[in-house]
Structure 1
Amino acid sequence: MDATTFLVLISALLLLALALGLPVSFTLGGIAVLGVLYVWGVKGLFSIAQTAFDEGTNFILIAVPLFVFMANILRCSDLADDLYHLVYTWMGRVPGGLAAGTVVICAIFAAMAGISSVATVTMGLIALPSMLSRGYSKQLATGCVAAGGALGILIPPSVIMVIYGTMAEVSVGKLFMGGLLPGILLAAIFVAYSLLRCLKNPSLGPPVQERFSFAEKLRALKGILLPSLLIIVVLGVIYTGVATPTEAAAVGALGALVCAWVRRRLTWQNFNEALLSTLSITAMVMWIIFGAVAFTHVMAYAGATKVFQDAVLGFGVSKWWIFFGIQVCLFFLGMFLDPAGIIMLTTPILVPLVKTLGFDPVWFGVMFTINMEMAYVTPPFGFNLFIMKAVAPPEVTLDDIYKSILPFVGLQALCLLLCVVFPEIALFLPSLMK
């Protein structure tokens, strides 16, 4: 069987398995095993097992459970209560201020946690009922929480970036720094959108009536101290080159424990729940990685990756048409698959093509991540949309959530376009790293 036929057959099996709803990890691993048996026989199984084992012992992957544990500890530390009180006192009297402030809190949590679900769940339980009870539009309130929560994909430290960097063999530290300015830019776009809509139509986000003295506002600022310190330490040691992302993850996990202890929330029950949740999420991620590595191994050795690359380059179009074609394909995949699965499916095929086209691998990784952030909130199967439905009050329907997120998906696309037109947004900080 030639490489072209092998690629077509493997792709057909993959699409069929995904259409049947089979888990991505076992789909990739199962197809890899079938491919090895067909091409090399039973002796080839040892090769993919060894490859998967070698990848699983990659030092950088230790950052995954550490960042997830850090996020789970922060979730139970009640830092969000102080942050929301800060937003309420300082921004509550501005039309749309609570919505804009919710996005800011989500960005802060993104810079502490590494996964998007923490901010989405936390703000869905705290900010969403508060905004709805004060007359905020359901669509504006739910959209801000869902889209703001997804910032955890882009703003470092990001577990998705760790996975992408591992699969694409790109510096995770540079990916982290590359995602920082685009993440801040996207958060600023969300904030500006919320404020401008409410300034134009105050009924969408009426200002709160309660007044606070300047002394009360100053006291509320203490809520930002612990989060700021944790963010500065974790990102600072990566940026300055003092620590690798994995070592920074260990520092962050320890810092999260200290935060929970200072707030007297470090109970055995919370600690146990954080460990169990970390174990569950890490196991899921590692199984996906094992399956993807085996799949990549088979595709590469059978020559299928080279066939795909030659076919795309054979179109004879500009590299930018190919780039935007890739982004459109990733966007549509994001409607139906989770970001980790998309990374595992596409990275082995796309990264060699991107390098051949001459795109900066860090810049492309950031563009990929922005697209994966869109995947978290794109109907019909955006992960954050179902989290929102689970934590939202009963009067908020799934249809409300779907409608609420559409403007924010457009804003995410705008951010991606800005980073394409001005690549320095993503490349400035990585270029300064030691």
Structure 2
Amino acid sequence: MDTALFTAIITGLLLLFLVLGLPVAFSLGGIAVLGVVYIWGAKGMYMVAQTAYSEGTNSILTAVPLFILMANVLRTSNLADELYHMIQVWMGRLPGGLAAGTVVICAIFAAMAGISSVATVSMGLIALPAMLKRGYDKHLATGCISAGGALGILIPPSIIMIIYGTMAEVSVGKLFMGGLVPGILLALIFCVFILVRSALKPSLGPPVDEVFSFREKILALKGIFLPAALIIVVLGVIYTGAATPTEAAGIGAVGSLLCAAIQRRLSWANLKGALSSTFSLTAMVLWIVIGAVAFTHVLAYAGVSDLIKDTILGLHLSKWWIFIGIQICFFVLGMFLDPAGIIMLTTPIFVPLIMELGFDPVWFGIIFTINMEMAYITPPFGFNLFIMKAVVPKDVTLNDIYRSIIPFVILQAVCLLIVTIFPDLALFLPNFME
């Protein structure tokens, strides 16, 4: 069959399955099975099983369940309560201080978790009621939590970066370090926006009435000790080369258990809940990986990836126009698909293309992750928006949540533009790694 026709059929089937609401993992896996049977016949089915086994035992992907376990254990501890109390004591008197502080807490959780849901759920349950009670504008309050929670996939560790690194054959450790500065930059952009906007219009984020003594402020800092220690250890062993990201994930998982034990929250019920959630999320990730890798192998054998790459290069466009087109494609896909699924669909096509155009794959991975942050808060699929809807009071509608994220999506786009113009922001730390 002609490669162009095969590509059209594959694309049509994929769109059909997704429109019908089939999970991304089974859409990709099902098309892969059909492709294998068409190309090699029934005897080729062993390759699907071989792919499932090889990906399921991939040492890099072992980090995924460990970081997810780390996140789920941290969710059961009361670290979020202590961190929020610290922010309330130190920043509550500033206009918009609680909202800006909530972003800071989300950034701290991002550096401990690797996924966005932990900070979004925790702050949605703790910070949101506190801000609304103190007269904060509901759009500012919900928006800062939705956007702050999305930092979980940019500030290392990051499950999305692990999946991208596996598919693109890029160092996960360098991706982690590459996301650190842009992640902090984006958190600062959020905080500055909130503080400036609240200063210009104090009714959006009125200062709290409580006055705390210097001693109370010093005592409140104890809430940062355990998170800071865990972050320094996990990221430190990766940056120094003392441990691989997978080994660091193991250290982080054990560290999170120690944190929960110190907080006296390591009960059997909490551990059982954390393990159950870890199993479910890990299974979902691995099914997506298995289905996508099998799909990728079929595309590669049929020459689909090469056809698309050669077609784009044959347009003789500037590499920056191609880059912009890819980012627009990511943004549109992010409105409808999960970021993990987008990685699986696009990495085999776009990564070889951008490398041929002379772009650094580590830098491109960071740009991709920032784009996926927008996906987490962009309707209609925006995962963080669904989480927020589940935790907000009844008087906060879904339309309110959609309105709340507009300025933050714009700020994410600004950060993406800054890192695009100044690539050293993403490459400075990775370049120091061996």
Question: Do both proteins adopt the same fold according to a TM-score greater than 0.5, normalized to the shorter chain?
Answer: yes
Q: Which residue of 2 aligns with 1:201?
A: 201
In the aligned structure 2, how far is the partner of 1:367 from the partner of 1:384? 20
Shift of 1:36: 1.2
Letter in 2 for 1:418: I
2 CA distance for matches of 1:26 and 1:145? 32
Q: Give 2:150's aligned residue.
A: 150
Deviates more, 1:269-278 or 1:355-364: 355-364
Partner of 2:314: 314
Aligned pairs for 1:194-343 within 5 A: 194-343=194-343
- In structure 2, distance between residues paired with 1:406 and 1:149: 15
Residue 42 (structure 1) shift: 1.2
Are 1:71 and 1:118, in contact at CA under 8 Å, matched by a contact in 2?
yes
Q: Which residue of 2 aligns with 1:405?
A: 405
Shift of 1:49: 2.4
Amino acid at match of 1:213: S
**CA displacement 1:394-432 (0-9 Å, x = unmatched):** 111110000000100000000000000000000000001
Consecutive unaligned residues of structure 1, counting only runs of 5 or more, are none
The reply to whether residue 71 of structure 1 matches residue 71 of structure 2 is: yes
The residue type equivalent to 1:183 in the other structure is G
Offset at 1:24? 0.3
Provide the C-alpha distance between the structure 2 equivalents of 1:307 and 1:44, rounded to a whole number of angstroms.
23
**d(CA) in 2 for partners of 1:35 and 1:259?**
48
Residues paired across the two proteins, number:
434
One-letter code of the match for 1:265?
R
Structure 2: which amino acid aligns with 1:367?
Answer: I
Give the Cα separation in 2 of the matches to 1:56 and 1:159: 15
Measure how far apart 1:37 and its partner are: 1.1
Contact 1:48 1:297 in 2 (8 A): no
In structure 1, the partner of 2:19 is 19
Query: Is 2:362 aligned against 1:352?
Result: no
Cα distance, 1:304 vs structure 2:
0.7
Bigger Cα displacement from structure 2, 39-48 vs 193-202: 39-48
**Residue 98 in 1 paired to residue 95 in 2?**
no
- In structure 2, distance between residues paired with 1:309 and 1:50: 27
Instruction: Specify the code of the residue in structure 2 equivalent to 1:385.
Output: L
Q: Please show how residues 415-430 of structure 1 align to structure 2 within 5 Å.
A: 415-430=415-430
Structure 1 runs of 4+ with >4 Å offset: none
Supply the AA of the counterpart residue of 1:428: F
For 1:329, give the aligned amino acid: C
**CA-CA distance at 1:212 after TM superposition:** 0.4
For 1:376 and 1:186, how far apart are their aligned partners in 2? 15
Amino acid at match of 1:108: I
Measured in 1, the distance between the counterparts of 2:344 and 2:387 equals 23
Residue type at the aligned position of 1:148: G
Q: Give yes or no for contact 1:36–1:45 (8 Å, CA) kept in 2.
A: yes
Match of 1:191 in 2: 191
Q: In structure 2, what is the Cα distance between the partners aligned to 1:140 and 1:376?
A: 17
Alignment of 1:38 onto 2:38: yes
Instruction: Report the CA distance between 1:98 and its aligned residue.
Output: 0.2
Shift of 1:38: 1.1
Hey, what's the Cα distance between the residues in 2 that align with 1:379 and 1:400? Answer: 12
Report the 3-state secondary structure (helix = DSSP H, G, I; strand = E; otherwise coil) of the residue aligned with 2:379.
coil
3-state SS of paired residue (1:157): coil
For 1:353 and 1:301, locate their aligned partners in 2 and report how far apart those are by CA, in whole Å: 17
Map 1:384-403; keep pairs closer than 5 Å: 384-403=384-403
Give TM-score, length-normalised by structure 1: 0.99
SS of the equivalent of 1:43 reads helix
CA RMSD between the two structures: 0.7
Secondary structure at the aligned position of 1:210 is classed as coil
What is the rounded CA distance, in whole Å, between the counterparts of 2:47 and 2:81 in structure 1? 51
What does residue 366 of structure 2 align with? Answer: 366
Q: How does 1:39-188 map to 2 (within 5 A)?
A: 39-188=39-188
In the aligned structure 2, how far is the partner of 1:121 from the partner of 1:48? 37
Q: For residue 401 of structure 2, give the secondary structure of its aligned residue in structure 1.
A: helix
**Deviation digits for residues 98-155 of structure 1, max 9, x if unmatched?**
0000000000000001110000000000000000010000000000000000000100
Give, in whole Å, the separation in 1 of the partners of 2:65 and 2:397.
Answer: 33
Cα offset, 1:51, TM superposition: 2.5
The whole-number CA distance in structure 2 between the counterparts of 1:220 and 1:34 is 59
Give the whole-Å Cα distance in 1 for the aligned partners of 2:414 and 2:180. Answer: 17
Partners of 2:394 and 2:126 lie apart in 1 by 15
- State the shift of 1:55 in Å: 2.1
CA distance in 2, matches of 1:197, 1:147: 16
**Deviation at residue 393 of structure 1 after TM alignment:** 1.3
Quick one: distance in 1 between partners of 2:193 and 2:161? 27
Deviation at 1:39, TM superposition (A): 1.6
Q: Which amino acid aligns with 2:178?
A: G
State how far apart, in whole Å, the 2-side matches of 1:33 and 1:305 are. Answer: 18
Q: How far did residue 47 of structure 1 move?
A: 2.1
Contact in 2 for aligned 1:142/1:401 (Cα 8 Å): yes
Tell me, yes or no, if the aligned pair for 1:157 and 1:176 is still in contact at 8 Å: yes
Give, as a single letter, the amino acid of the residue that structure 2 aligns with 1:169. E
Structure-2 separation of matches of 1:339 and 1:110 = 17
Equivalent residue letter for 1:387 = I
For 1:94 and 1:280, the matched residues in 2 are separated by 41
Does the aligned pair in 2 maintain the 1:49–1:294 contact within 8 Å? no
Q: Secondary structure at the match of 1:264?
A: coil
- Identity within the alignment, %: 72
Query: 2:387 is paired with a residue of what secondary structure?
Result: helix
